[in-house]
Amino acid sequence: MLTEIYKYLDERYDFLVKTRRYLHQHPELSFQETETAMFIARFYQELEIDVRTGVGGNGVVARIQGSKPGKTVALRADFDALPIQDEKTVPYRSKVPGVMHACGHDGHTAILLGVASALHAFRDQLAGEYVLIHQHAEEVAPGGAKSMIADGCLDGVDAIFGTHLWSLDPLGQIGYRSGPIMASPDVFEVTITGKGGHGAEPHLAKDPIVAASQFVTQLQQIVSRRIDPLETAVVSIGEFHAGNAFNVIAEEVKLAGTVRTFKEEVRDTIKTEMEKILKGIATSHDCTYTFDYTGGYPALVNHKEETEFLAKIARDVPGVTRTTEIAPRMVGEDFAYYLQHVKGTFFFTGARPENAPVYPHHHPKFDFNEKAMLIAAKTLIASAIRYQEWKKQCAAKTKTQAG
């Protein structure tokens, strides 16, 4: 049956591309994706598939029931865009100023709609139930996953699978990892306030720029001197704002950055050490400060058995040329919340462009190889369908051992 389904998806490749490009031209920011949600819902309504809208906000959840009893498997795709100006020179360039799909969520949505159409077409031959989770607001904490879970998107679900198209990985590669695979992405904001003055008379001021500069430098010592070298952590400053004239000592400096970790104890240590450093520097420079630390999503931790299952079945998927256990990545994903409730795994599908420049995710010229959508769709649908067979085998083995 999978061979027939793969052929069906091959025939739907143009649909995947057309859908992805339409969404790319009409992006919507996190928590504002009303038109995108309607677009997704209409697709299911036209096929007369059971669909629920407004799930946890702008989320959309569809359910397809097979003709035979079995497990309930969820597949998830996100559909929000980013506040970035699209700088690509392609026919499907974003039509919304300052907003673009710079992370592949348009492709994720097209993939899941293609998978849904295949599941619907072959439903009379399938066992179990399939839950298609279209999630809003992955890019901005608190994200959409948490509210969708609270609104019942995982009700009755036995396992969940998800993928991310990755422009830096070669086409045909499926990257997997058991355990932590993506980090917790925290955000911090710091304001250091001193006393402004003339640049020619620094002794009469209390310079917050010097204080803030020392803070940035000393932050780097947290990872190198306070965290076990065998652990993984990143502390990065992304914003530094102070003053607007070359000869004026600013009154105030504002900083912002991110902390990426895989373990809660490392996360807590970094937060504590940051404030200790900030307090000491502010005191020594006779400045005051504010420190706001916002915890992002938890680290994404894949379940061992489901990850090994995915790695095994992916080898037989047409278009997959390599399955590889990848190193953990410091980017974050609120798919982590789903895995805190049900078993499953999240993997990366290689989507490096061919004969074109390769740009990282969240770049104004980001794009991916659209052929990867077909590979991702086949891998997701294979994981969902073969999961039924795998769980039957596990149950039979357990029964035999017990007997």
User: Is position 80 annotated as part of the catalytic site?
Assistant: yes
359 backbone dihedrals φ, ψ, rounded to 5°:
-115, 145
Helix, coil or strand: residue 305: helix
Which two structure tokens, joined as six digits, stand for 218?
């000393």
Read off the pLDDT band of 399 (50, 70, 90). low
d(CA 177, CA 311): 9
In which residue are the tokens 């397809």 written? 64
User: What's the rounded mean pLDDT across residues 174-188?
Assistant: 97
Asked if 279 and 201 touch (Cβ cutoff 8 Å), the reply is no
In which residue are the tokens 């699209």 written? 86
pLDDT digits 0-9 by tens, 324-362: 999 999 999 999 999 999 999 999 999 999 989 999 999
Flag whether pLDDT at 112 surpasses 90. yes
CB within 8 A of 23, min separation 6: which ones?
Answer: 36, 39, 79, 101, 106, 109, 110
Which two structure tokens, joined as six digits, stand for 70?
């079995």
pLDDT at 402: 65
Widest CA span in the chain: 88
Asked if 357 and 365 touch (Cβ cutoff 8 Å), the reply is yes
128: left (phi over 0), alpha (psi -120 to 50) or beta: left
User: What's the rounded mean pLDDT across residues 86-105?
Assistant: 98
Q: Could you tell me the end-to-end alpha-carbon distance of the chain, in angstroms, rounded to an integer?
A: 33
Catalytic residue among 33, 80, 169, 273: 80
User: Is position 10 annotated as part of the catalytic site?
Assistant: no
d(CA 94, CA 87): 9
Helix, coil or strand: residue 85: coil
pLDDT at 153: 98
pLDDT digits 0-9 by tens, 279-338: 999 999 999 999 999 999 999 999 999 999 999 999 999 999 999 999 999 999 999 999
Asked if 310 and 347 touch (Cβ cutoff 8 Å), the reply is yes
Flag whether pLDDT at 229 surpasses 90. yes
Catalytic residue among 28, 138, 306, 370: 138
Average pLDDT, the chain: 97
